[in-house]
Amino acid sequence: MNQAETNYTTTKKEMLAVVYAFEKFRSYLIMNKSIVYTDHSALKYLFAKKDAKARLLHWILLLQKFDFKVIDTKGAENYAADHLSRLENPYENIFDPKEINETFPLESLNKVAHQDPRTPWFADFANYQAGKFIIK
């Protein structure tokens, strides 16, 4: 979720999850009947609602392509979703910025040999652009 989506209400987050799942697995779900098990009974109401905010209407229009029904289940009975929602994401707060090395030694480009059959066809162009020479 992006920064704006983290501020959504619980109902909108649940709806966003359904929209995301259907868009992600579109090719598998587009011609098949699907069942959405949810512990959030408001979703069933939202899918039937005709006068809603623009974002919800947009999501409803996206989901009209699919043949699915929403079934309410108690959270305690929905074991798979309950378990998956409690898993920790080990990569959640990891950000490893890498510096971009702007300096590139010409010696590295000069090592490209023209006679080697593995040499890419554009090696002469790269050598000429970098050092104004062509290896013969």
Q: Are residues 15 and 80 in the same domain?
A: yes
Q: Is the pLDDT of residue 122 over 70?
A: no
Question: Could you tell me if residue 132 is left (phi over 0), alpha (psi between -120 and 50 degrees) or otherwise beta?
Answer: left
Euclidean distance between CA atoms 35 and 73, whole angstroms: 12
* Domain annotation covers residue 127: yes
Global pTM value: 0.54
pLDDT tens profile 39-61: 777 777 777 777 778 888 888 88
* Domain annotation covers residue 73: yes
* pLDDT, position 37: 82
Q: Are residues 14 and 81 in the same domain?
A: yes
Q: What are the start-end ranges of the H helices in the chain?
A: 10-24, 26-29, 42-48, 54-63, 79-85, 106-110, 123-131
* pLDDT, position 116: 62
Domain holding 20, by residue range, is: 5-85
Q: Are residues 61 and 12 in the same domain?
A: yes
If one compares 76 and 27, the residue with the highest pLDDT of the two is 27
* Domain annotation covers residue 99: no
Q: Are residues 80 and 108 in the same domain?
A: no
User: What total of structural domains would you count in the chain?
Assistant: 2
pLDDT tens profile 57-111: 888 888 888 998 888 877 667 677 677 777 777 766 666 667 766 666 666 655 5
Q: Are residues 81 and 109 in the same domain?
A: no
| Per-residue tokens: 55 | 């974002």
